[in-house]
Chains A and B, each alone.
Chain A
Amino acid sequence: MPQKSLVLRNCGLIDPQDVDSYLARGGFEAMRRVQSGMTPAQVIEEVKRSGLRGRGGGGFPTGLKWEQTAQSPNERKYIICNASEGEVGAFKDRYILERDPFALIEGIAIAAYAVGAREAYIYLRSEYSHLAGLMANAIAQVKLKGLLDGGGQPLEIELRLGSGGYVCGEETAMMESLEGRRGEPRARPPFPPSQGLLGFPTAINNIETLMNIPWIIAKEADRFCEMGTPQSKGTKVFSVSGDVERPGVYELEMGSSLHELVHELALAGDVKMVQVGGASGRIVPADRMEVPLSYETVLGAGPVIVFDRGRDVVDIMYRTMQFFAEESCGKCAPCREGTQAMTETLARIADGRGVRNDLKALEQLSSAMMLMSSCGLGQAAPVPIMDSLQYFREEYDAHIRQ
């Protein structure tokens, strides 16, 4: 399947500092279509019909999330744009913001109209502080043009710069952070569409998800549905890094193969394995590169890290788990203690000081963490370790025998 330019449709073709260049390329046509006679329910119906699912990794149907938020009985509602791209190997949201901040704002404006929100937050991770000026300028220009005034329901978009922390990308942790507290995830339910920011119904969406919205509304959901697989419609944007000749951002139709992305586009050489989805992503060994990229198979938020033959799997897994141990917020014990214990165990094995029981300990810790952790961080942290034990057990064994 070929490369597609849907989310990245304007990247490199407009001036991110100038809203007029966005308007000249059909910007805010979707918003005009919405305002010239679509009810919020019709917008939601269109997004539902498109089959669009969350691009931050979760894959929750976007239209359904909006519908739940819209139907929650409260006058005040919020939209949050999750711009806290912190997954290891992820840089596609940065790439998008650098090149097309306006389509994101249009997506936010349509989302706000659909759910009935008059306030929206963009939560930008602190490491992207270099983009804060560009984003603030884009918001100001759109506002100045009166493009946020729509239908007697003006929208305020506020940009918030995070203060650091991977876990703040988790949606309820992000809300805690926006409210001014430690960015620790909340117990769920209640889910954000019923009780989110400050207790009000909130739809929180990833940048890439929102970038799809103007396209879907302007071109109609049917055309979006034509792309992809039964459960994964449209395209996906990936950021490829590691052992490749051409690291970078690529947009492919859903269902394209990992081989196409990694070998044909990023020009990988002698691959040992690929991690799809960042630090907590699945491990795909070299003999399974034909796997299609989709929610049904393997996808994640977009990061794709390539490892060539020469890489030591145990060393990589040790470094991966060390990341989680550092980024665990510490609120729940399975994650706080589990990531620490797994880091120590993996360090020992990598060092040649491992014992046979260590592999069993890794497996037991993994199942406890997956089952008992209170948020996605702890639940997903063991995923690559378990995958690597499945595909590269002999490498662990070799370290232990040393």
Chain B
Amino acid sequence: MTSGTSDARMEKNLLVLLERTRDVYGYIPDHAVIGLADQLGVPVVDVYAAATFYRALPLKPMGKHIIKVCKSVPCYLKHNQPVIDAVERGLGIAPGQTSHDGLFSLELVNCIGACDKAPAMMIDDDVFGDLTPDKVTEILAGYR
């Protein structure tokens, strides 16, 4: 995502183009990898190498909402396991999976910078803190 003045150079910035692709499709489809390589005149492997490096550039379709539950030490100290269990139970999926209705993808991630309200998770761009299993159930219901 860019704001302010968009530099002409950004038109050739692979990462910016990959992010735009993701914003259109929700992920980076194979045909886009090939198309971008073509457009920039670089080997396909260069595009693939960049895409696979970044967590926010998934190569397979994702759910409508992406849930990232923090598993780092500060959240672990605040008992994040029951919270992780509640999310898994609530969605019926394990980390790395997408629910059958295509509504949610679940990831366990490293520190999201919300340790003052641990245990914490993100749903899309929103941060939820001081989680309990009950609170998780309530939050998930709000997205259905």
Q: B111, A89: Cβ atoms under 8 Å? A: yes
Q: A180, B112: Cβ atoms under 8 Å? A: no
A residues contacting B by CB (< 8 A) are: 85-91, 93-94, 125-130, 132, 136, 139-140, 143, 156-166, 177, 179-184, 239, 241-243, 247-249, 279, 303, 305, 307, 311, 316, 319-320, 323, 326-327, 329
Known: A140-B4, A160-B1, A319-B76. 8 other contacts (CB 8 A): A127-B109, A157-B4, A158-B6, A165-B55, A241-B116, A242-B73, A305-B73, A305-B115
Report the Cα distance A182→B111, complex, angstroms: 21
Within 8 Å by CB of A94, from B53, B68, B113, B118, lies B113
Q: Which residues of A contact B7 (CB under 8 A)?
A: 158
Q: B4, A136: Cβ atoms under 8 Å? A: yes
Q: B73, A319: Cβ atoms under 8 Å? A: yes
Q: B54, A163: Cβ atoms under 8 Å? A: yes
Return the CB mask of B2-39 against A: 1 if under 8 Å, else 0: 11111100001111111100000000000000000000
* Closest A residue to B126 using CB positions: A130
The 18 sampled A-B contact pairs (Cβ below 8 Å) are A88-B110, A90-B113, A90-B115, A93-B113, A125-B113, A126-B55, A130-B127, A136-B3, A143-B4, A165-B53, A177-B15, A241-B77, A241-B115, A242-B115, A247-B117, A279-B72, A305-B73, A305-B77
**Given the interface contacts A88-B111, A129-B125, A163-B57, does A180 sit within 8 Å of B118 by beta carbon?**
no
* Closest A residue to B74 using CB positions: A241
Q: A316, B73: Cβ atoms under 8 Å? A: yes
B114 CB-CB contact with A under 8 Å? yes
The distance from the CB of B21 to the nearest CB of chain A, in whole angstroms, is 12
Q: Which residues of A contact B1 (CB under 8 A)?
A: 129, 132, 159-161
Q: A180, B3: Cβ atoms under 8 Å? A: no
The distance from the CB of A172 to the nearest CB of chain B, in whole angstroms, is 15
Q: A85, B15: Cβ atoms under 8 Å? A: no
Q: Which residues of B contact A323 (CB under 8 A)?
A: 72-73, 110-111
B86 CB-CB contact with A under 8 Å? no
Q: Which residues of B contact A157 (CB under 8 A)?
A: 4
Q: Which residues of A contact B109 (CB under 8 A)?
A: 127
Shortest beta-carbon contacts, A-B, top 3: A164-B55, A241-B115, A163-B54
* Closest B residue to A307 using CB positions: B77
B49 CB-CB contact with A under 8 Å? yes
Within 8 Å by CB of A127, from B4, B53, B73, B122, lies B122
B56 CB-CB contact with A under 8 Å? yes
Q: Which residues of B contact A94 (CB under 8 A)?
A: 113-114
The distance from the CB of A380 to the nearest CB of chain B, in whole angstroms, is 16
Return the CB mask of B102-113 against A: 1 if under 8 Å, else 0: 000000011111
B50 CB-CB contact with A under 8 Å? yes
Report the Cα distance A183→B48, complex, angstroms: 14
Q: B50, A180: Cβ atoms under 8 Å? A: yes
Q: B54, A89: Cβ atoms under 8 Å? A: no
Q: A159, B50: Cβ atoms under 8 Å? A: no
The distance from the CB of B85 to the nearest CB of chain A, in whole angstroms, is 17
Report the Cα distance A251→B114, complex, angstroms: 18
**Given the interface contacts A86-B111, A87-B111, A130-B126, does A182 sit within 8 Å of B50 by beta carbon?**
yes
